[in-house]
Structure 1
C-alpha cells in the first residue's frame, strides 16, 4: 500500500475551512449571510408591512433603492478601504447597516421605510464588497478560487434562510422585530470581525478614481423609471421611461469617451461580444424580480401564509443554483447551445406565471405546485446561461482590465436588478397593483408584470443569438 500526498501548492477546502484561515473564512461568510438574509426577509415581510403602514404604490421602491444604494456604496468602498484599515472599514459598514435596520424598524410610514432601506443597502453593499475584497489579502493566491466559491455558495444557502426568518416575523405580525433583530446581530458580527480579521495597512494598493459622472447617470436612469411608476397617467409613466432611456444612452456615450470608466473598455460599445454578454446578462437578471413580487401575489391572490409564500418565491434561487451547477460542465458547442436555450426556458416559465398567477379563483395544491414549478423554470433559465456569460465577459476583456471586468460583473448584476425592479414597479402600478382590496386589479397587474418578464426573455433570446454569431466570427 502506497501513500499519496498533495502537492504543497494544491488548493484544498481544508485550507479555507479549517486551520489558520478558518477565522477569516467565518467572518467573510458571516458578512455575506447578513446581507443575503436581509434581502429575503424584507421581501417576505413586505406584504405585511404595506398592509400596516401603507405605501403600496412604493412597493417596488424598497428593492430599487436598496440595490441602488448598494451599487453606489460598493463603488466607493475601495476609497474607504484605502483611507481606513480593514477593521475600521468593516466596523463602518456594520454601523451603517445597523442604522438602516433601526430606521426601518421604527418606520411610521413608507417614505421613512424607504430611507431606512437605502441606508441598509449602503451598509450591506459596502459589507458585501469588503468581503470579496478581503480575499486577495487574507488568502494566498492558490486559495482565491476556493474562497470565491465559499462566498458564492454561502450566498445561495443564506437565501434559503431569509423566507423562514421573515415569514415567522410576518406570521405573528411583528415585522418590526425582524428588522430590529438585525441590530444586535450586526453588532456582534462587527465585534467578531474586529477581533478576527488581520490588520492590513501598507499592503493596500491605492484606490483608483471613481467614475462619479457615470454613477450619477446610472442612478438617474433608475430613479426616472421609479418616479414614472408614481405617475397617475400613462403619459407621466412614459416620460419617466423616455428620460431613463436618454440617461442610459448618455451613460454609454460617456463610458466610451472617458478614461475613468465603470466597466471595461468596449463594454458599452454596441455590437461587441463584451457588450452583448452584458446585455444578455442584464435581460436575464431583470426577470429574477419575480422573486420579489411573488410573495405579495401569493398572499393576496391565493391566500398563502407569509412563510409558505416566501419559500415558494425562493424557488427561483434554487432553480438558478441547480441549473448553474449543471450547465458549468458544458464546453464548446454544447456551451453555446445552453446559452441559447436559457432565454427560451426562461420564456416558458414567465408565460406560465403570467397565465397562472392571476387565477385567484383557483385554489388548491395543484395551482401552488404549478407556480412553484414555473418559478424553478424561471431560475433555471437564468442559471443555464449565467456561468458562460460570465466567462465570455472575462474572455473578451483586455488583460489589463481583468480586475475591472470582475467588479463590473457585480455592478451589472446589481444595476439590472435595481433597474428591473423599477420597471416592474412601473408596469405593476399602471395596471392595478396599487389598488388595495381590488382582487381583479391585483390579478391584472400580475398578468401584465409577468408578460413584461416574458418580453425580456424574448429580447434575451435575440441578444444571445447575436452574441453567439459574434463569437463564431471571432472563432470561439
Structure 2
C-alpha cells in the first residue's frame, strides 16, 4: 500500500513543528528519532567510560580506535542499508540492526582486553550504522519537503537528549568501578526500540521507491573504509613521515573513488559530490569540515579527568555540552529560510573557529579554571556545538534538494555515510595529533596538557576551510529539484 507524503499547508513556509509531531507523523518521528537516539546514547556512554576502560584493560595507544573502528563499521553498514530495505523491508532491517547492535554491546561488556573491545565495537558499529542510515533516509520518503529541515533538526535533537542519558549512564557505572555495566544497560533500551519498531512500522518488504540503487557499490564502500583505516593506522606511529604517508594514502583512495564515480556504474554519492565546482559537492565538503571540528570531543573527557581531576560523571556531562549546543542551535534555526538561513550557514564556521581556539587555552590550564570556575569552559564547549548546529539542518536539506531528480534516495542515504566518514577521519586525525603532542609519551599531566593545546589549534583549520566552502555552495545554483510525491511506504 502506498500514498503520497502527508500534505501540509503550502502557504505555511516553513512548516511548523505541529505538522511534524501530530497525527501519523508523530509516530513516524518517534520511531525514526529512536534509531538515532540509540546510536547517539552509545557514543556518549563510550566517550564517558573510555578513560576508565583503558585504566582497567590498557590500550591507551588505541584510544581513538574505539571510535574509528565503530564508525568505519557504521560506514560500511550505512552503504548496504538501502539494499537491506529492499531485501527485508524497513521494519525487518531495523530489527536486524538492533540485534547486531545488541550482540556488539554484549561483546564490549565481556571484553578482557582492548583487542576484544575493538572487535566488539566494530560489531556495534554495523548495527548502529544501519539504524542511523535508515532514520535519515526515511525522512525523504515519509515527510513532505517543507518538513525536511524540521525532521533533520529532530534527528539532531536526539543527540542533545543523548548528552543527558549517555554521560549519566556511563559516568555512574564508571564511578562505581563497573564500566561493563554501561554496555549491559544498552540492551533493555534496544528491546524497547525493537518493540516500538515492531508495532508502529508496518512496511511491506516488497515496497520500493523508483530510485533505489540496483546494487551495492561494495568496492567504493570498502575503499572509503580503507581510507579511514589508513589514517587510523598512521596514528599509531610516532614518525611524522609515517603519519603523513597514511594521510596521503587515504587521500589517494578517495581520489580513486572519485575516478570510479566518474566512470559510471552504481554510485556511492550523487553526481557532482566530489567536485567543489558543484553546489552539492561544496555542501558535502562543508558538512565534513564542520563535523571534523566536533570530533575533538572524544578526548575531552580524558583531558578533564587527567588535567582537571574531574570525575568521570562530570567529565561526561561537560563533554555532552558540545552536542547540546548543536541541538539547541538546530532547534532554534531550523525554521529559518531564505536570507536568514544563508546567514546562519555562513556564521556557523566563525563561531566554531573562535570556540576551538578558546578551548586550546582553557583545557590545558588547571589554573584558569581554578580561578574562574567551570562557567567559561561550559560556554566555550556549548559554542563549539552551537556553531555546527546553526546551519547543519539547512546543509542536509539543501543536499537533498540539490541532488539530481533520479538520485534523491541516494542523497538521503549518503547523509549518514558522509557524516560517519567525517567522524571516523576526525577521530583518527585527533588520535594522530594527540599522539604527536605526547598524550601517551611522555603521557601523564604534561602529555595531556600539551595534547589539549595542539589538538584544538589544529582542528580549528577545519571550520576555517568550511567558512569558504559554504560560501561557494551558496553561490552556485542547484540542478533540477528532486522528485517529490515519491511513493511512501505505508506506516501505521
TM-score for the superposition, normalised by structure 2? 0.86
State the partner residue of 1:3: none
Instruction: List aligned pairs for 1:56-75, cutoff 5 A.
Output: 56-75=60-79
Instruction: List aligned pairs for 1:48-87, cutoff 5 A.
Output: 48-87=52-91
Looking at structure 2, the residues matched to 197 and 253 of structure 1 have their Cα atoms a distance apart, in angstroms, of: 39
Looking at structure 2, the residues matched to 102 and 243 of structure 1 have their Cα atoms a distance apart, in angstroms, of: 35
Per-residue CA deviation, residues 160-211 of structure 1 (Å, 9 max, x unaligned), is 3211111111111111000012234324543453345325133234653211
Cα 1:16–1:447 change in 2 (3 A) is: closer
Deviation, 1:17, is 5.8
Looking at structure 1, the residues matched to 275 and 151 of structure 2 have their Cα atoms a distance apart, in angstroms, of: 33
Cα 1:289–1:167 change in 2 (3 A) is: same
Cα 1:429–1:391 change in 2 (3 A) is: same
User: What 5-or-longer segments of structure 1 have no aligned partner?
Assistant: 1-6
State the partner residue of 1:416: 422
If asked which structure has higher relative contact order (CA below 8 Å, sep 6+), I would say 2
Q: 2:247 aligns with which of 237, 241, 247?
A: 241
The answer as to whether partners of 2:326 and 2:390 remain within 8 angstroms in 1 is yes
3-state secondary structure, aligned to 1:458:
helix
State the partner residue of 1:96: 100
Deviation, 1:223, is 0.3
Looking at structure 2, the residues matched to 41 and 79 of structure 1 have their Cα atoms a distance apart, in angstroms, of: 30
Looking at structure 2, the residues matched to 155 and 103 of structure 1 have their Cα atoms a distance apart, in angstroms, of: 24
Per-residue CA deviation, residues 378-420 of structure 1 (Å, 9 max, x unaligned), is 1122122323333443343222222222222222111111111
3-state secondary structure, aligned to 1:231:
coil
Looking at structure 1, the residues matched to 356 and 198 of structure 2 have their Cα atoms a distance apart, in angstroms, of: 45
Q: 2:448 aligns with which of 416, 439, 442?
A: 442
Deviates more, 1:177-186 or 1:332-341: 332-341
Cα 1:365–1:166 change in 2 (3 A) is: farther
Deviation, 1:226, is 0.3
User: What 5-or-longer segments of structure 2 have no aligned partner?
Assistant: 1-5, 10-14, 479-492
State the partner residue of 1:123: 127
Looking at structure 2, the residues matched to 132 and 150 of structure 1 have their Cα atoms a distance apart, in angstroms, of: 10
Deviation, 1:357, is 1.0
Give me the CA root mean square deviation. Answer: 3.0
1:327 and 2:333 aligned:
yes
Q: 2:268 aligns with which of 262, 266, 270?
A: 262
State the partner residue of 2:292: 286
Cα 1:390–1:90 change in 2 (3 A) is: closer
The answer as to whether partners of 1:226 and 1:423 remain within 8 angstroms in 2 is yes
Instruction: List aligned pairs for 1:354-369, cutoff 5 A.
Output: 354-364=360-370, 366-369=372-375
Deviates more, 1:173-182 or 1:432-441: 432-441
Deviation, 1:56, is 0.9
Per-residue CA deviation, residues 261-305 of structure 1 (Å, 9 max, x unaligned), is 111111112322221121111111101112222111111110111
Per-residue CA deviation, residues 20-48 of structure 1 (Å, 9 max, x unaligned), is 67666554443333222111111111111
1:161 and 2:165 aligned:
yes
Instruction: List aligned pairs for 1:367-406, cutoff 5 A.
Output: 367-406=373-412
State the partner residue of 2:488: none
Deviates more, 1:451-460 or 1:395-404: 395-404
State the partner residue of 1:194: 198
Looking at structure 1, the residues matched to 448 and 7 of structure 2 have their Cα atoms a distance apart, in angstroms, of: 61
State the partner residue of 2:189: 185
3-state secondary structure, aligned to 1:379:
helix
The answer as to whether partners of 1:320 and 1:379 remain within 8 angstroms in 2 is yes
Cα 1:207–1:68 change in 2 (3 A) is: same
Instruction: List aligned pairs for 1:5-16, cutoff 5 A.
Output: none
Q: 2:177 aligns with which of 173, 187, 207?
A: 173
The answer as to whether partners of 2:159 and 2:323 remain within 8 angstroms in 1 is no
State the partner residue of 2:39: 35
The answer as to whether partners of 1:228 and 1:237 remain within 8 angstroms in 2 is yes
Looking at structure 1, the residues matched to 390 and 441 of structure 2 have their Cα atoms a distance apart, in angstroms, of: 37
